[in-house]
Structure 1
Amino acid sequence: MSSCPHFFVMPYPILGHMNPLLQFSHVLATHGCKITFLITEFNQKRMKSETDHLGEHIKFVTLPDGLDPEDDRSDQPKVILSLRSTMPSKLHKLIQDINALGCDNKITCIVVSKNIGWALEVGHELGIKGAFLWPASATTLASFESIPRLIDEGIIDCQTGLPTRRQEIQLLPNSPMMDTANLPWCSLGKNFFLHMVEDTQSLKLGEWWLCNTTCDLEPGALAMSPRLLPIGPLMQTDTNKSWFWKEDSTCLYWLDQHPPQSVVYVSFGSLALMDPNQFKELALGLDLLNRPFLWVVRPNIDNNNNKETSDSYPHEFHGSKGKIIGWAPQKKILNHPSIACFVTHCGWNSIIEGVCGGIPFLCWPFFSDQFLNKSYICDVWKVGVGLEKDENGLISKGEIRKKVEQLVGNEDIKARSLKLKELTVDNSAEGGPSSKNLEKFINWAKDYNGYGDLF
């Protein structure tokens, strides 16, 4: 076997999965590994030339996702079903074609994200070992692993995954209490729950479960299995490009004009949709702040299916103290000295970036694992506060103003944020735990030949 491992990296085709797997690929490439990175033909058209800067060690290949051009790719159950039904045979042939190019080109290991555990089955059929990079928190993975136990204990229904009654449970020692109504699959429907049960079984073919986290962030979850290998924070790489939307870098110059810890940064990631009434309430809440704000308003975030959102702002909204952009160079923003706090949907990638910036969080979760992530921020790490809905189910403009002022003025939260930053970033430094784990993984890929009982 070649001393230079060849990894075939295959993310589920949404930004929250593609980014961490690309970041991981970049890290592997800096260690001399060869990378073949699979993207869908649809995403290749969206990306255009954004991959050109990634260097010769990362080669991109494509396969069709099985959907028609006009299909709605924000419909995740449809995407999951299409990939599962159309892609395995194509993936099998693609890997065979790559391996046929010569001994030095043979794939050493397949690395996938969740929702495509079947790809590890394809690798297994071809005699190629596999690993799994989990793009959310290790605790969320623990929740999926706990599904059989939760069913046996009568906590959730075996067909729908919904709680038999609402209660608070603790999945693991040293993890936050969790409202059963906020289990990661509850907001995504029966079909998604059944898919995740099947997918989690397939993912057990991955001999390592890599996580973009650290032992300091999630000690209880990482003790769950010897397969789990924390390699975070992955965001400490030079990969800083957006895949799908053009970043507005003018905001960095705008931030330069503001005093330290003065600007409220607002962003809800790549998938979250907001009710038009809630969107207007947020706009008015930002207007009420007696401080500047930087607000990322992604096309269609207001759930109106419009290409532009300018008609969605309330007439009384001025925005004179703020700057509104379509997409942001988020890592650079969260490391800018002028940022005071981060109003976030609590997606794991954003949390890792915020933690590494030492930024306090104002939590606004929408679905899935985001409620659990909020619990870590507010109840375990204590580096943020949550927003509460009113009797109409909206987060009011007054609540937004009150919580921003409460958060920005809290020196204890800021001090804990800076301490958590130090603990987290040190993990990926040379000689740190995550750095050693990464070296362990690469050496395994070099030396381990065939399937065996690692555990």
Structure 2
Amino acid sequence: MARGSGSGSAHVVALAFPQAGHTNPMLQFSKDLASQGVIITFVSFAFDHHRMLKADKTLQRMGIRLRFESIPDHLPPGVDIVSDLFKIFGQLYQMEGSDLEKVIQRLNVTGPPVTCILHDVFMPWVAQVSHNLNIPRAVFYTQSATVGAIYHHFKYVQKWNNCEQDSKDAVVIPAIGEMRMPDLPSSFFPPLLTAGYLDICLSLVDSFNRASWVIWNSFDELEGKAINHLREANVPVCTVGPLIPSAFLDRRNSEDTQFGGSPWEEETEECMEWLNSKPPHSVVYVSFGSIATISTKQIWEIGRGLQSSGQNYLWAIRPSAGQTTVWENFWEGFAEEIGDRGLIVKWSPQLKVLNHPSVGAFMSHCGWNSTLEALSCGVPLLACDLRFDQPANCKLIVDLWKMGIKLRRTQNADGDVMFAWDEIERCVRRVICSEEGAELRKNAVRCKESAKKAKMEGGSSHSNVNGFVKEISK
């Protein structure tokens, strides 16, 4: 019988925000639950349902069976999760829940009845559906526990004073310590602050206290102080991470080699063949996630810095809006200049890349999923935080776990603030070529072993998943 085909009494309806950084960890948690016999009905929104049907085929090849449903999203045709992100967020954040309620009512009739609703924190309206149907609810939080504790602090303890992001002021947050202004999530500063994003993030903290569980993609040994602080504040934290396909961490299912919900085709064969030709720890992998947009000027700086470093690099970069190829981002002759020392692809199988022995560093925007993937593969980070929760993640990487270095931004002659090519060159050499880099790698490997232990039998996250399954099976 396929994993998740449903011999138990627990039935979870899962609803994710339709962006890879949210969908992938919820799919992975759904797989973890399905491996214990929990029936999972994964509900997607109409504009994204085709991707979930593709994921279903991928999961079936792994021997994992989830059920998939969709509900209307009331979005205009042709929306794009990258260019229309804030439009999509605005619509899905404030929906009313009648469509989801109808799906759950139908599932309750056809059986087995739904015993838990699992939903992304960015969809607070699901609380009313849970109340109407008298079904326990679990909030799925996709950022770090540290970021959650920061928002919790400014929701209930200290009023935000609208400091400047580049000021030298600092705040002290219990269980976290001193945070400089540049280390806080970018929602505390314009333009996200003036757009109301901080108000939304603080309001979402309310959902912690009204839920039966807050499922966190982290683990106790990684963020123990922040997690314990939230628990002491009566937040029903259930850490289940890192939510990484089993083949790369606990190895309980060797067929589980990808999340299943990749937004683009991965150039797997080309990446693996190229990596196989490189010495151990010699390659810098570069990727800034599924939604980050980077200016052509910044792309030029990265390209020049990588070339000047003299090190091997694999760079996953999508064509910008209106472009047909990634090469339109670069100067004439760049493709020839790279030679065999670099490989540029539109999209890569990130976990397979990070797990390859030739990879020695990951230049990343420090999104939480990418951070956990690097950590789970024991790869040090070149931290280029951009926005949202990434500055706080960067502080964890550099100051707490000591498995990466932070690249500094500078202002160029045109007034643009960016990561300059010479800073990129210097930091790449620090991580790949120096004793400092070797020490960062040792720390990253220690984090990897800690993550593996948390997910293994008897580990903190594995035990929490078992406890969650027992509670929703009552």
Same fold (TM over 0.5): yes
Matching of residues 135-284 of structure 1 within 5 Å: 135-149=142-156, 153-156=158-161, 167-174=169-176, 177-179=179-181, 182-186=184-188, 187-189=191-193, 190-226=195-231, 227-237=236-246, 238=256, 240=258, 241-250=260-269, 251-284=271-304
Counterpart residue type for residue 417 of structure 1: A
Task: Say if 2:426 is the partner of 1:402.
Answer: yes
Name the % identity. Answer: 30
Task: Compare 91-100 and 191-200 and name the one that shifted more.
Answer: 191-200
Counterpart residue type for residue 41 of structure 2: T
Cα drift, residue 90 of structure 1: 1.0
Counterpart residue type for residue 110 of structure 2: L
Counterpart residue type for residue 46 of structure 2: E
Partner of 1:36: 41
Gaps of 5+ in 1: 448-455
Partner SS state of residue 426, structure 1: helix
Partner of 1:452: none
Task: Compare 132-141 and 238-247 and name the one that shifted more.
Answer: 238-247
Is the alpha carbon distance of 1:337 and 1:176 closer, same or farther for their aligned partners in structure 2, counting shifts above 3 Å?
A: farther
Partner of 2:249: none
Residues in 2 aligned to 1:285 and 1:364: alpha-carbon distance in whole angstroms: 14
1:385-404 CA distance string (max 9 Å, x none): 01111222121111111001
Partner of 2:395: 375
Cα drift, residue 418 of structure 1: 1.3
Is the alpha carbon distance of 1:11 and 1:120 closer, same or farther for their aligned partners in structure 2, counting shifts above 3 Å?
A: same
Partner of 2:19: 14
Partner of 1:291: 311
Partner of 2:110: 101
Is the alpha carbon distance of 1:358 and 1:139 closer, same or farther for their aligned partners in structure 2, counting shifts above 3 Å?
A: same
8 Å contact from structure 2 (residues 142, 216) kept in 1: yes
Partner of 1:131: 138
Task: Compare 36-45 and 370-379 and name the one that shifted more.
Answer: 36-45
Is the alpha carbon distance of 1:73 and 1:353 closer, same or farther for their aligned partners in structure 2, counting shifts above 3 Å?
A: closer
Task: Say if 2:405 is the partner of 1:385.
Answer: yes
8 Å contact from structure 1 (residues 112, 120) kept in 2: no
Partner SS state of residue 67, structure 2: strand
Counterpart residue type for residue 86 of structure 2: P
Cα drift, residue 85 of structure 1: 4.4
Residues in 1 aligned to 2:257 and 2:31: alpha-carbon distance in whole angstroms: 7
8 Å contact from structure 1 (residues 168, 177) kept in 2: yes
Task: Compare 210-219 and 195-204 and name the one that shifted more.
Answer: 195-204
Task: Say if 2:100 is the partner of 1:91.
Answer: yes
Cα drift, residue 122 of structure 1: 1.0
8 Å contact from structure 1 (residues 117, 200) kept in 2: no
Partner of 1:57: 65
Residues in 1 aligned to 2:409 and 2:166: alpha-carbon distance in whole angstroms: 25
Residues in 2 aligned to 1:54 and 1:175: alpha-carbon distance in whole angstroms: 42
Partner of 1:434: 461
Residues in 2 aligned to 1:296 and 1:402: alpha-carbon distance in whole angstroms: 21
1:93-119 CA distance string (max 9 Å, x none): 1111111213xx211101111210211
Is the alpha carbon distance of 1:109 and 1:239 closer, same or farther for their aligned partners in structure 2, counting shifts above 3 Å?
A: farther
Partner of 1:421: 448
8 Å contact from structure 1 (residues 156, 164) kept in 2: no
Gaps of 5+ in 2: 1-6, 247-255
Partner SS state of residue 338, structure 2: coil
Residues in 2 aligned to 1:33 and 1:212: alpha-carbon distance in whole angstroms: 19
1:207-235 CA distance string (max 9 Å, x none): 11111111221111101233112111210
> In the alignment, which of 331, 346, 356 is matched to residue 314 of structure 1?
331
Counterpart residue type for residue 16 of structure 2: P
Cα drift, residue 436 of structure 1: 0.7
Matching of residues 350-361 of structure 1 within 5 Å: 350-361=370-381
Residues in 1 aligned to 2:166 and 2:444: alpha-carbon distance in whole angstroms: 37
8 Å contact from structure 2 (residues 306, 428) kept in 1: no
8 Å contact from structure 2 (residues 379, 441) kept in 1: yes
Residues in 2 aligned to 1:37 and 1:436: alpha-carbon distance in whole angstroms: 23
Partner SS state of residue 9, structure 1: strand
Residues in 2 aligned to 1:333 and 1:436: alpha-carbon distance in whole angstroms: 29
Residues in 2 aligned to 1:348 and 1:86: alpha-carbon distance in whole angstroms: 26
Partner of 1:346: 366
Cα drift, residue 352 of structure 1: 0.7
Cα drift, residue 315 of structure 1: 2.3
Residues in 2 aligned to 1:365 and 1:372: alpha-carbon distance in whole angstroms: 9
Residues in 1 aligned to 2:469 and 2:55: alpha-carbon distance in whole angstroms: 27
Residues in 2 aligned to 1:50 and 1:249: alpha-carbon distance in whole angstroms: 17
8 Å contact from structure 1 (residues 121, 205) kept in 2: no
8 Å contact from structure 1 (residues 162, 181) kept in 2: no
Cα drift, residue 239 of structure 1: 5.0
Counterpart residue type for residue 96 of structure 1: Q
Is the alpha carbon distance of 1:391 and 1:401 closer, same or farther for their aligned partners in structure 2, counting shifts above 3 Å?
A: same
8 Å contact from structure 2 (residues 14, 119) kept in 1: yes
8 Å contact from structure 1 (residues 66, 87) kept in 2: no
- The two structures have a TM-score, normalised by structure 2, of 0.87
Task: Compare 108-117 and 78-87 and name the one that shifted more.
Answer: 78-87
1:163-185 CA distance string (max 9 Å, x none): 89762123232456242673342
1:178-207 CA distance string (max 9 Å, x none): 426733423524322232233332343321
Counterpart residue type for residue 425 of structure 1: K
1:244-286 CA distance string (max 9 Å, x none): 1011112012111111111110011101111111111111111
Residues in 1 aligned to 2:54 and 2:176: alpha-carbon distance in whole angstroms: 44
Residues in 2 aligned to 1:397 and 1:164: alpha-carbon distance in whole angstroms: 22
Residues in 2 aligned to 1:48 and 1:436: alpha-carbon distance in whole angstroms: 31
